[in-house]
Amino acid sequence: TIGAAYHQAMQLVGKTHQATFNATESGGWGLTAGYAYQIAKKVYVQVYFMRITNDTNARYNVVFQGLPSAPGADLMAFGTGLRYQF
């Protein structure tokens, strides 16, 4: 099985009851691609790659990484896994 996803975050713009805000350069985008191969009836091995590109003031991150990134940092992740279906 092959899969891919594209993600995009737009600039942060909004209003509160007291002010309007526009956070310039706060967007970003991400790309995820993965492959899973069935090695037994209920067992799969999988591999994936993820890339996140942030605008200058954005701090989007790889969810499972857990550590905050610097504003504007571009991130990449690679992983493997074994999945068993009960």
Question: pLDDT tens-digit profile of 13-66?
Answer: 888 888 887 788 899 999 999 999 999 999 999 999 999 999 998 888 877 656
Q: How far apart are CA 80 and CA 86, in angstroms?
A: 20
Q: How far apart are CA 42 and CA 32, in angstroms?
A: 24
pLDDT of residue 52: 93
Instruction: Give residues with Cβ within 8 angstroms of 56, minimum separation 6.
Output: 25, 71, 72
pLDDT tens profile 4-27: 999 999 988 888 888 887 788 899
Q: How far apart are CA 84 and CA 86, in angstroms?
A: 6
Among left, alpha and beta (phi > 0; psi -120 to 50; other), residue 26 is: alpha
30, 60 Cβ separation under 8 angstroms: yes
